[in-house]
Chains A and B, each alone.
Chain A
Amino acid sequence: MSVQEQIHETVTTNPIVLFMKGTSQFPQCGFSAKVVQILKQSGVKSLVTVNVLADEDIRNGIKEYANWPTIPQLYVNGEFIGGCDIVSEMFATGELEKVLEPVIKAA
């Protein structure tokens, strides 16, 4: 399986996936930490995270996958939602709740 296929499988077989630096317990970047915190506050309990620092191929591959050059990256039901700025903005406007609610309920 290529890296792109591997990423595709990860984001399509898990409802909420965050590609981040570090882990949700020990984020290694302020932007990643912020998104984890927002997701927790939004009621997400089953968050799958991928630590890009642990795998150089994933770290490079994920930038290509969404045509997005920075980490973190949030995916919901296989769809790329955004990075830290977008997730923060959507959290503030209530849009994030609308995206996450059906997924949280279905879990």
Chain B
Amino acid sequence: MSVYTGAVQDLIDELGRLPGVGPKSAQRIAFHLLKIPTVDAVRLARAITEAKERVTFCERCFNLAEGTLCGICSDDRREPHVLCVVEESRDIVAVERTREYRGRYHVLQGAISPIEGIGPDQLKVKELLARIDPEGVTEVILCTNPNIEGEATAMYLGRLLSPLGLTVTRIASGLPVGGDLEYADELTLGRALEGRRSFDS
């Protein structure tokens, strides 16, 4: 049942397609947009069009990029022989925030999930393998999520990469800083114990 005139209803319908936006929120946003000055609304429209036009995936690592290579791949100061494999571009932002990593990335654009029918072929795995030799990669860090899909992906890649004679590492699992031990789940605490370090090292 549409009670609004064509253009308003179209706007509500389009907004309603966005993740996390229901019909009621869509209505609220639509009315907000109609109320604000035209310049503000046009600026939003232009930001969307420009982002869609300019942003593509980096040819090398499949991160978001403006142009053929992303900011990290085109930065000469980055260590070229270490690759950090992540599931999504968002994960790069998370790793970058640590300021602990100076190498390059590879975005798989997903994780292996048999139940959803996502296998290695749907991910950027072939592209990862094709980078190893030409770029002289000596270490691959498997930085997928520590959940069942991410673990399966890491195991799959580990099995594929280890025979190539390079260092393959998996990020550690453990307790979040600032948390309480008593709330830790068994698997995490178990792995934290397993991966404990000698105190004087």
A and B pair up: no
